[in-house]
Structure 1
Amino acid sequence: MAEWYAGKGRLAASFFFFRGAGRRSTVDGFATTLAHQIALNVPGARKFFEAIIQDPHVGHSSRSLHSQLQSLIYTPLLQCMEEGDCPREDPYLLVIDGMDECDDKEAISVEEHIRTHVEDGAAVIRLLDLSSRSHRADVEYAMKVTFANARKHSRVFQSLGHTWPAQNELDALLDYCDGSFIFMSTIARFILWGLGNDDPRTPKERLSLALKNTPGIDSVYTDVLSRASGIPHFHTIISTVVYLKTPLSIAALAALLGLETYEAVRVLVTLQTIL
């Protein structure tokens, strides 16, 4: 999406958080990176951003993220719209993704802000159910391309033949993916490369394991769970969620366990990307 809008000349900025990638896993440099890109990409905006950054403290990490975004993004853009030549006929896109990958949970907490605005019924919020748009054919195509690329770069995979995995095996894997690209990516990665360089199993053996839906291929969630495991009452809450036949509201879950609601929220918010 970002590349498509960039090709149209309508991408203001993009930022993708990524866990374990230095500053990309924190909010340090988040606002200044967006400001820099907007200044370069939006016609007429540069002079307004250059005026703002004359103050060396405006983007300092000691300031709250809200304050940085207000000063570095909102204020100069508003001035550009009111006083400059910023085009208005077609909107610019600003893409931010991977917020669950950011380690600064308190600073980012954007998902909670989105949830609040949605619940308030704000007219500017448009909620799109992307799961309903992930068609099986798209996931199948992506999976076939993944295996084809592996064959292209490895004689080991070439030796398995161009019909590996067989179509019936692909169909079984697609049933398990249920339209999820992240599941498809995780499954394909497990089959092709295993759990690391010391994984002794062959791709065929790992395919057999994947077809049995073994827990080993769900390691994509291990990191999220392990980071949350130190929060008080984590094991009690998550095990109760697993065992409940009928889902409960957060307040009801807390009451069942004799906890304050905020104690349950503290755990569940951390896990919201996988629950």
Structure 2
Amino acid sequence: MPYFEKSTGMEVRDNNMYDVRGNQINQYYNGNGPPDLHRILSPVSDASHNHPEPVARCHPGTRLEVIAEIEKWIEDSRDCPILWLNGPAGSGKSAISQTIAEHWVDKKKVASFFFLCGTGERNKIQHLIPTLAHQVSIFNPAVESILIDVMSKEPDLHKKSLSYQLDELLIKPIKATGLELSTIIIIIDALDECDDKELTSQLIKALSTICITHNIQLPFRLFLTSRVEQHIQEQFNQLIKQLVVKHLSLQDVDATEDIQLYLKYELYSLYERKYRIMQDIPGPWPSEEHLERLSENAAGSFIIASTLVKFIENGEGIPNEI
């Protein structure tokens, strides 16, 4: 029969201890010191903004209006701790999240989780709060000791409600260290790519319960992005009405000039790289007329613009003829 080992608080079944994912952890604990928080929380290592894979970020000089609005919120909006940025697929939400994270990481303490559909651990919301809690513990040793104590006393905490996890793994530990609201920024990108719509709704409900029902002030800035999907929109509406959430929509921002700037840079760079086969084509290439037409046809979608660049770059023959 399962029981909890007194000195560690770890669940023991058949003389073996298990972490929050049910993995046996005897080999990670030798009984001579505190449990390893990384092993206990099992964070998703490649979900943060500094993971080693190629990432999308805003092209220099683009998205200045949106970025300025987000940075103003980070610096000034104490009474509105949550910002929700939404927009259609390919509108550049993840690039904005990445750019914000990289810009502020040297000024603030940034924890982040970038959801990604079809990747296993990065599309499961069950890993979200433990991963963010572990990241916070890295830049604040005091939080680490609190989390070890919390998980030792309650090893099955990961099975509790998302509201309870938020409170026990993030809000209370951060508040206990005395960190100010403006010190920590938590970024949750592409919430719509979570594989469980019901749990996604529960997460937003949890924020509503904490901020509105219990009137608890979040000890961090929370920046979320997603597509405009019904199960997300419905839950955020209440938070927006209560002025707990600042709402930005990329559909309200004309990205045509930004896309034109991006295309001008990328295609001119391509022109220079392939000058040998394009030396008879007069510059500037493409012409302003062509750039305007291409940027308008992209209809505000950076993914269409980037796909076009890749198509021209990888196509056979002279780029001017593709």
Normalization by structure 1: what TM-score?
A: 0.56
Q: 2:177 aligns with which of 84, 90, 93?
A: 84
Q: 1:69 aligns with which of 166, 171, 174?
A: 166
CA distance in 2, matches of 1:92, 1:179: 32
1:64/1:188 Cα in 2 relative to 1: closer, same or farther (>3 Å)?
Answer: farther
Q: Deviations over 1:102-147 (max 9, x none)?
A: 2223322356355434346112111123344454332222223333
Taking only the aligned residue pairs, the percentage that are identical comes to: 29
Q: Is 1:118 matched with 2:237?
A: yes
Report the aligned-residue RMSD.
3.3
Residue identity opposite 1:34 in structure 2: L
What's 2:261 paired with?
141
Q: Does the residue aligned with 2:125 lie in a helix, a strand or coil?
A: coil
Alignment of 1:97-246 (within 5 A): 97-109=189-201, 110=204, 112=231, 115-119=234-238, 121-147=241-267, 159-160=277-278, 163-193=284-314, 207=322
More helix by share: 1
CA distance in 2, matches of 1:44, 1:151: 54
CA distance in 1, matches of 2:292, 2:313: 17
What's 1:51 paired with?
149
Q: Does the Cα contact within 8 Å between 2:116 and 2:190 map onto a contact in 1?
A: yes
CA distance in 1, matches of 2:310, 2:197: 28
Task: For residue 188 of structure 1, report the CA deviation from its aligned partner.
Answer: 2.9
Q: Does the Cα contact within 8 Å between 1:65 and 1:108 map onto a contact in 2?
A: no
Normalization by structure 2: what TM-score?
A: 0.49
CA distance in 2, matches of 1:148, 1:49: 52
Q: Does the Cα contact within 8 Å between 2:263 and 2:305 map onto a contact in 1?
A: yes
Q: Deviations over 1:209-249 (max 9, x none)?
A: xxxxxxxxxxxxxxxxxxxxxxxxxxxxxxxxxxxxxxxxx
Task: For residue 151 of structure 1, report the CA deviation from its aligned partner.
Answer: 6.2
CA distance in 2, matches of 1:149, 1:67: 51
Q: Does the residue aligned with 1:128 lie in a helix, a strand or coil?
A: strand
What's 1:230 paired with?
none
Q: Does the Cα contact within 8 Å between 1:146 and 1:188 map onto a contact in 2?
A: yes
Residue identity opposite 1:108 in structure 2: T
